[in-house]
Structure 1
């Protein structure tokens, strides 16, 4: 552990209202470590697109958990990561833990920017979150009873966000992880059709998986009126990154946490209990 003095300084959690950041902040708070939420609504606010907000957010912090919004695939991401890392060190903040994407070209540029910054870095490299089915853009498709994506038999090592948060907290607060890249995967490879079956079984609902063409996927997204950045990102993720390049398991969770990662089945069971996949039919 750090000295007591440095533990009194807050850890800045960039993206502290997001899927992983929210959980990281909750865990740090439970450990008695002061936490500063880095978001546009935070105090002080943090905005990736406005570098003048970074300094106040970094003031008097001991470490930073970095998630980049909306995604490291954006061309400006690497420069902004480099700028943040440089400013952090100027302010005496050495330990930077970054969430990165597995098998994503843009992510590797950002990783290099962090590695070359001189910071005490740790990189957590992940691909598909289990929680994309319950806290993200796939939730609506689950509720509609049909998950339609341009993906066939490619398998994905779905990772539970709870494991990512546990890993981030260890990397932020314990010794021995500086200069390390941890690829975090779940314990099992599943196709999207198999993941859909797990959700149907856990929720007791009829949910089908349909493989659609890239064209159908794109035209469906265009009807959603999403921000163009986000639409392009989804197209890249579903039509390029999901080509099997991540279809292998790693021991990152075991190396960092000393235990096995949570299985998709556990995620589906626990999520079904919350009712998020449930009572929607009556209301709408």
Structure 2
């Protein structure tokens, strides 16, 4: 990993745009906004946006990549999911054919199957500079993602047991991605991003209780129990099973250690979970 310094020259892609896949998601929307604030032309790809992009329909990928200088690659539903290596290989070949110079790939920390997908993209990226951002569990999952309803209802149900997780703020992740896309340093490397401290889900719930002013409890369940709950909410059986197995594996303790990835990439410390919770509360994330 390469530390960002004041003496490094910023290389903004200029007239050539940057494709942001999953451009309306938690990370993609932030990356797109930061690029636009720098004056970088952005193609925010999504299934229903102005730039059509759907990970299940490769027919539109070349049009989205044509003429792009760089791309942020955020695969849905997860880089460890079945079919991800094949998608990365197909995407990388098109990106190379279109002359894309930089690729920044969102990956999961401690996910062996995600590494297989990373390598599939690396194998076909050609001369493109590939940066991989392996992320810990997003803090914003409690305010924008699957755990939002649980926080609002006072019970966060998840198959994490008593395991600790160094939740990372998505704003920190977006800053690292944009730095790599714009050539500020750290390009072509693997960044492992975490927050500054590991918390159990019970400790995170206590932080949320303090931030929201109402009780939030953590309820531990097994993987099969979580899969059954997802199916009750209408998640297809195969996807529910995959997510339950993935979360159970990721939250078995092997991802508990904290890294200095954010500081190595940006030259500053990552934001603590308490700061995320306080900011989300101020911005009305849990007003409903």
Q: TM-score range by the shorter chain?
A: over 0.9
Within-5 A mapping of 1:210-249: 210-249=219-258
Shift, 1:229, TM fit: 4.5
Match for residue 185 of structure 1?
194
SS of match in other structure, 1:116: helix
Cα deviations by residue, 1:62-119 (Å, 9 ceiling, x for unpaired)? 1000000111122211111111111111111121000000111221111111222223
SS of match in other structure, 1:80: helix
Match for residue 7 of structure 1?
14
Unaligned runs of 5+ in 2: 1-8
Match for residue 6 of structure 2?
none
| Equivalent pair of 2:134/2:190 in contact (CA under 8 Å) | yes
Higher RCO structure, 1 or 2 (CA under 8 Å, sep 6+): 2
TM-score, structure 1 length as denominator?
0.93
Cα deviations by residue, 1:234-278 (Å, 9 ceiling, x for unpaired)? 202322221011010111100110000000000000001122213
Count how many residue pairs are aligned between Structure 1 and Structure 2: 278
Mark the CA change 1:133 to 1:115 in structure 2 (over 3 Å): closer, same or farther. same
Cα deviations by residue, 1:29-49 (Å, 9 ceiling, x for unpaired)? 000101001111133311111
Shift, 1:127, TM fit: 2.1
Partner of residue 153 from structure 1, selected from 152, 159, 162:
162
Partner of residue 115 from structure 2, selected from 108, 111, 119:
108
CA distance in 1, matches of 2:110, 2:182: 27
Partner of residue 33 from structure 1, selected from 21, 32, 40:
40
Question: CA RMSD, aligned part only?
Answer: 1.5
Match for residue 263 of structure 1?
272
Match for residue 209 of structure 1?
218
Unaligned runs of 5+ in 1: none
TM-score, structure 2 length as denominator?
0.92
